[in-house]
A and B are shown apart, each in its own frame.
Chain A
Amino acid sequence: MKETQEVLRYLGYRGKPADERTLRTIESCMNELRAAVTPRSLSLLLPVEFDGDTVLLGTLRVESGDLRRHLSGCGEANLFAATLGTKADFLLERASKIDMSRAVILQACAAALTESVCDEAEQKLSAEAAKRGLFLRPRYSPGYGDFSILHQRDLLGILQAQKKIGLAMTQDSMLVPTKSVTAVIGLTAEQTTCHIAKCMGCESLNCPFRKD
C-alpha cells in the first residue's frame, strides 16, 4: 500500500485518488517487476573523520559541507549501493515500445521498488548497528546538496560494486542499471530525528514529486 502511494506520487497524483485501471496496472507492473528482477545491495562500514568541511570516509576525502553536517556526530558510516539490475531497464525499454502508459507506470513502480529494496537493506544495517547501541542517519547520496556527483566513481570503486552487484556508472556519473542507488549512511550514538529527510532537505521547492 505504501508502495502504491509512492508510485502515485512519482506519477504526479499529489495525493489525489487514482482510477481503477491505473491501480490495476500498478499492481500488474509491480508483479511483473518482482518476478523478473533480482535486487542486490552491498555496504561497507568505514570510520568517519572531519577536517573542516572535508569528510574522511576511510581513505576517501569528500569536500562537502552538507555531507559534513549530515554526518556530524557520526564516528562511522556505511557506504551503500543497491540496484534492481539490468532486467528492470530491459523491461522499461520494452514497455516503452508497446505502450507508453504502461511504461510510465512501470518506471514509477521500478523507482518505488528501488526505494523498498534500499529500505529493507537499511533495516538490516540498522539491526546490526543497534547491537552496538548505534543508530542510522538517513541515506545521503552523491548529487545531494554540495556532495559532488563525481564521488559516484569513488563509492562504486571502494564497494567494488560493478564486480559484486553489477552496478556501474556512465562517463557522466550516472548509475547504470538506472534503477540504482548509492549512498552514505552515518552511524551515531544519539537517536536524532531525521533532520535532513530527503525531500525536506532538498532545495528544489517546486519539484513535482516533493512530499508535502
Chain B
Amino acid sequence: MEILEELGKRMVFFDGGMGTLLQENGLGPGELPELWNLTRPELIEDIHRRYRAAGADILTANTFGANPIKLHGHSTEEIVTAAVNLARKAAPSALIAMDIGPTGKLLKPLGDLDFEDAVSAFARAAAAGEKAGADLILIETMSDTYECKAAVLAAKESTRLPVFVTMVVDEQGKLLTGGDIPSAVALLEGLGVDAIGLNCGFGPEQMKKFLPQMIQACSLPVIVNPNAGLPRTEGDKTVFDVGPEEFAAVMEEIAKEGAWILGGCCGTTPEHIAAVVRRCKDLSPQPIVPKNRTVVSSFARAVVFGEKPVLIGERINPTGKSRLKQALRDNDMDYLLREAITQQENGAHILDVNVGLPEIDEPALLRRAVMEIQGISDLPLQLDTSDPKAMEDAMRIYNGKPLVNSVNGKAESMEAIFPLVKKYGGAVIALTLDENGIPSTAQGRFEIAEKIVKTAQKYGIEKKDLVFDTLAMTISAGQENAAVTLEALRLIRDRLGAHTSLGVSNISFGLPQREHINAAFFTMALQNGLGAAIVNPNSAAMMDAYHAYCALSGSDGQCAEYIARYSAQKTEAAPPPAAGEITLLDAVVRGLKESAHAAALKLVETQEPLDIINTQMIPALDRVGKDFEQGVLFLPQLLMSAEAAKSAFEVIRGKMTVNGEQTKKEKIILATVKGDIHDIGKNIVKVLLENYSYDVIDLGKDVPPETVVDAAESGNVKLVGLSALMTTTVANMAETIRRLHERVPDCRVMVGGAVLTPEYAKQIHADAYSRDAMGSVHYAQKLFSGE
C-alpha cells in the first residue's frame, strides 16, 4: 500500500497511545520507553497487534525518543531496528511509521543545542527507520518550529520516505515557543512535507477548535491525533477522562470538517481507535481547497500578501550607509539589531537583511545576522544576497519561510535559486530582467515574468510563491521610467494574477529632496497594484503615504489605524521638556537619553570632540560611577546614565570619524564562559566599558575557551573579562584562564559573576576580580594607564 496514493480516497487511521499502555505495564517515570523494544519486545508487539486489529492503517513504531541525544549511551540504530521490526512482525501488511519526537533539548539561541546537531541526531534516527523498513516518517509532538524544521530537513535529506508532521499547541493555539498555526503551516508547506496536523496536548473537543485555523491555512492533508482528554491521577494511576465512544463521536465531526487522517495520542487505547474506525471508515474525505496564498513566516507569525500592502524594511543593507558598513566590518551586530528593532517599532512587516560588502565573508556574516535578528525580532525576514552559498546557508538556518531576494529571468539565476526554494521553502522576489537586460516596455517585463513562472513550475514552485519586482528606475535618467514600471505592475496583477514588489526609492536616484518623489511614487504604485514595498519605515513621509493610502483604499477598516496613529502623534509632538536648556553633563548624570543626544549635537558644532569627552562626558560618568559605588544611586540609574552617554557618544564619535580621529582606546574582550547562558552581567560591563571608550569585542555567551584564546591572540588583546553565573561553569572559566595565560601570557584576565568571590577568583588564577561593572572600569583604567 502506497500511503500517498491512499490519501483522499478514503479515511486513513493512525494507531493510539503507546506510552500510557507501557506505564500501565510498569514503565516508571523517567524511564525510556524505547528501551522496552529490547527488554519487553513481546509486550510492544502485542500492543501493535491490538491496534492493527482495531483497524489502524498506520502503526507507529516505538521510536519517539530514539535519537542519539535522548538515548545517550544506547545505540539509536539498534533500538530503531528492533522497534520497526516489532511493528512489522505484528502486522506485515500495515504501514509502519518511524516515529520522531523532540530531542528534549532547546535549540540555540534560547538553549544550547546547535541546529545542525539537531539535524544530525534526527537524520540518524530517520535513516535507521528507513533502513529497517519503515514506510513513512512521523515527526510528532513538536512544540518548536525550529526543531521541527531540523527534523524535517533531516528526514528529507537522509530518506526518501513521505514525511508527516504533527505539532502540539496550547489553549491559545500557540506552540510552546510562540508560533501560531499559520506560521507553522507556512514553514512546513515550504519544506515540502506530505501531511500536517496536531497531536497530544489535549482531547478531541479542544483540538476541534483549532481545526478551522489549520484547514484555512493548509493545502495539505490534515492529521488529528488527540489525547483521550485530560490526564488526572487516581491513586497512583494516571487516567484520562474521554472514553472510546465519546472520543470517536468528536473524531467523526473532525473528519467531516476536513481531516483526512485520524488517530490518537496519550491515553488512547485500541478501543478508542476501534470506535473511531467504526464511525469514520465509510466517510468520504472532504476535498482539499488549494489556498493559493502568498505567505512568508517567522517562528512566531505569518505575513500574507494581498490583505494589505506589505512593508519591507530596507535599512539593513550597507549600500550607501557608511555607519552600517563600519558596523559590519567591526562585527558590531548590536548596531544592526537596533536597526531591526527600530524598523519593527516603526511599522515594518518584514525586514530585508543584506550584509554584502567587498572583502567580507558574506555567507558567515549573513548566517550570523539572521541568527541574531531572529533572536530579537519576530518579523519574517527577506534574505537578500547575490551569493548563492550565502543564500543557502541563511535559508537553512532561518526559523520560518523566508522571502528570498532575489531571482531574475536569467537562466543562471533561476538554476541557482529555484532548487533552494524547492528544498527550504520560501517566496521569491523575481526581478523582471534577463540576459538581455531590463526591457524598456511594460510588455517586455511582463513577458519575462511569464517566463519565470513557467521555469519555476518545472522546479515544482507555484506562482503563489513568486513576487514580481517590475524594477523602479530613476526618472532622472528617463522620464517614462515611472510609467513603464507602473504599467508593468498592473499587467502582472491583472493578467498574471501574481503579487508584486518594488524598491521604491530607486525612482528618485540623482534628484534632490528624494522623499517627495518617493512618497508620491509609492502612492501611485500602490494604486497600480503594488503588493509589497521595500521602503525605509523610519521615514515619516513614506509611512504617511502608506497610512493615507490604506485609509483611502479601504484596507484600513474604519480608518482605525490611521486615527490611532495620528491622533496619538499629535499629543506626543510636544517638545521634550527643556531639552535645549540642559548641559550634556547634566543630561548624562540624570540619565536623559534624548537630551544627551541633543546636547551633544549642539556641542560638536562649536567644540572639539576630545574636549567634550574630557570636560563633559568623563566627569559625568565618573560622578555617576562614584554615586553608584557609594550606594547613592543604583544599577538602573547607573545604566540610564550609561545609555544617555552612549547616545551622546554616537554623535561625538561620528564627528571624530569625520575628523579622522581615533574614536576608541584599547581593545577588551568580553565573554560569558562556556556552558553559561546568562549574559546580563556581561552586557552591563560592556555598556560601561564602551562609555569609557574602550573597544569592546563581545564574544557573547556560552563561549568555548579556544574561541576566547583565539580572539585574544589574533587581536593582540591585553585584557579579557569573563563572566560566570553558576558554580558548574566556573570550571570552564578556570580552563579559559589557564589557556589564556599559556598562549597569550601578556593578556590579563578579570572575572566577575554571581558565584565568584575574590578568593575564588585567585584560586582559578584570574588577574583581577570585579565585584560590579564599575570595578571592571577601574581595573581597565589601572591596567592601561600602566599604574
Contacts and interface: CB of A to CB of B under 8 A. Distances in A.
Interface of A: 11-14, 16, 18-19, 21-22, 25, 38, 44-46, 58-60, 85-87, 89-90, 92-94, 96-101, 103-105, 107, 143, 149, 154, 156-159, 162-163, 165-166, 168-174, 176-178, 206-207
A57 to B, nearest CB: 10
Given A149-B728, A172-B728, A176-B110, A101 B675 contact: no
9 closest A-B pairs by beta carbon, nearest first, are: A166-B176, A101-B639, A172-B675, A158-B30, A157-B30, A170-B112, A176-B111, A158-B29, A94-B376
A172 B633 CA distance: 36
Nearest to A37: B178
Interface string B744-770: 000000000010010000000000000
B637 interface: yes
Given A90-B375, A163-B102, 18 more contacts: A18-B636, A22-B637, A25-B636, A58-B28, A60-B30, A87-B178, A94-B376, A96-B679, A100-B642, A101-B642, A104-B680, A162-B105, A163-B101, A170-B675, A170-B702, A174-B728, A176-B677, A178-B678
Interface of B: 28-30, 101-102, 104-106, 109-112, 141, 143-144, 168, 170, 172, 174, 176-178, 200, 233, 334, 337-338, 341, 375-378, 591, 631, 633-637, 639-640, 642-643, 675-680, 683-684, 687, 702, 726-729, 754, 757
A59 B28 contact: yes
B728 A12 contact: no
A44 B28 CA distance: 13
B617 to A, nearest CB: 17
A206 B728 contact: no
Contact of A176 (B28, B102, B112): B112
A174 B676 contact: yes
Contacts of A171: 112, 675
Contacts, number: 153
Nearest to A161: B104
A19 B633 CA distance: 9
A19 B106 contact: no
A101 B640 contact: yes
Nearest to A148: B728
B29 A59 contact: yes
B635 A104 contact: yes
A92 B702 CA distance: 17
Contacts of A25: 636
A107 to B, nearest CB: 5
A12 B635 contact: yes
User: Which of B110, B143, B633, B677 counts the most chain A CB atoms within 10 A?
Assistant: B110
Contacts of A172: 675-676, 726, 728-729
Contacts of B200: 163
Contacts of B141: 163
6 contacts: A22-B634, A25-B636, A157-B30, A158-B30, A170-B702, A207-B754
A60 B28 CA distance: 10
A86 B29 CA distance: 25
A153 to B, nearest CB: 9
Contacts of B102: 162-163
A154 B104 CA distance: 13
B30 A166 contact: no
